[in-house]
Every structure is written in structure tokens, then in C-alpha cells.
Chain A
Amino acid sequence: GENVEQHPSTLSVQEGDSAVIKCTYSDSASNYFPWYKQELGKGPQLIIDIRSNVGEKKDQRIAVTLNKTAKHFSLHITETQPEDSAVYFCAASRNNAGNMLTFGGGTRLMVKP
């Protein structure tokens, strides 16, 4: 089955700096890669996603890049703000019966004011 690894597990940045979180996946048939943000005591919320036919996608301060050959994808957050502090999860799925997501282990991002 699919295996998703995520690095780093914790990341501390100064407000205004950029943050990058990286994920690798094992199943070359995976074709959908979402990123979720989880705030303390809440369920994960989708912040951006990318499909395998696209190399990069951007939404304001957030961008995701995908390298299918190397089987890795990354989340980039620019001009970080204290409210970006949360746990971020990457995930991958393929076109199977339930389009099941396999999640990475998570990255705790701390933005220091």
C-alpha cells in the first residue's frame, strides 16, 4: 500500500519568514495530493491540493509543488503569520474504490511573533 513520509516533524520560523514542508510517497499510481491544517482541538481542514497532471498550484501565500518523477511534493507558506501556527498534514490517494487518503505524520509549525 501507499506510504507517505513527511518532514520536518516540527518547524519554528520567525513571523514574515517562509516555511517549507516536504512529503514523499511510494505509490506511483497516486494522483491526488491534499494538504490539511489542523488547529488545536479541531478536525483537519483542507488548505490546498494538487493533482498529478499539475506541477505547481498557488493560493495567495500558500503554494504546493509536485515532482512525480521523484515522488515528492512540498507545501510552501510565504510571509508567515502567527495564525499559521498549527499542525500540517500531507496526504496522497489514487483512484481506488474509496479514494482513500494516506496521511503523513504531520508537521507542527510554530510562527514566532
Chain B
Amino acid sequence: NAGVTQTPKFRILKIGQSMTLQCAQDMNHNYMYWYRQDPGMGLKLIYYSVGAGITDKGEVPNGYNVSRSTTEDFPLRLELAAPSQTSVYFCASRDIAGKETQYFGPGTRLLVL
């Protein structure tokens, strides 16, 4: 199993550009999450999904959108990138309710200039 994979590893965006951060998991996990981690800070939840077709907002959803058309994939879309979105983005997945362990991907470092 590859676990949770994320692409790209690093990206530079200009202000106002858009991009999609890709996340995939091969563990057949129902739950998936997107976090951002600003320098020297903890992780903050952006969006999460409890299954294909179901998504909901986390703590910091503004400026982002997600979709979950399959169990495996959970892309994060940035529209009109702003410098405040410069961060490291982590995707995570978790099995069914009752199994709380979240498994994290390696992260995508995003720089908005």
C-alpha cells in the first residue's frame, strides 16, 4: 500500500491564479481531511469528507473548495490564490467510525507570490 499520496510536492503560484492539490489513498478509508500548517504552528482543518459525495467545512474553509467523487480521491481547489494561502497542506485519511487514527500524506508546500 502506498498509503496517502499528495501531488505536487511544491508549487509557486502568482496571486489570483488557481490550482488543485491532489490527494489519494489506497486504504479504502471512508474519512478524508485537508489541513494547512503555517510555519511554527499546528494543523488547522480546512475541509473533511465522511464518504464519497459528502463533504463539510472545517475551521478555515474560506478560499478553498473540495469534492469527493470517489472513495480514493479528495482534491483541494484553490481559487484566486492569495499570499495568506502560503502554507504546507496535508491530506489525511481514516477508516470507519471507531478507528480514530488519521494517516497523513507527505504534504504539499505552496508559495503564493
Contacts and interface: CB of A to CB of B under 8 A. Distances in A.
Do A and B bind? yes
Interface of A: 1, 4, 6, 9, 32, 34, 36, 41-46, 49, 89, 93, 97-106
Given A49-B100, A100-B48, A105-B42, A43 B105 contact: yes
Interface in B26-54: 31, 33, 40-45, 48-50
Interface of B: 4, 31, 33, 40-45, 48-50, 56, 58-59, 90, 92, 94, 97, 100-107
Contact of A1 (B31, B33, B59, B105): B59
Contacts of B41: 105-106
Nearest to B97: A99
B43 A44 contact: yes
B100 A34 contact: yes
19 contacts: A1-B59, A34-B101, A34-B102, A43-B105, A43-B106, A44-B90, A44-B104, A46-B101, A46-B103, A89-B42, A97-B56, A98-B31, A99-B100, A100-B45, A100-B58, A102-B59, A104-B42, A106-B40, A106-B41
Contacts, number: 64
A101 B106 contact: no
A99 B43 contact: no
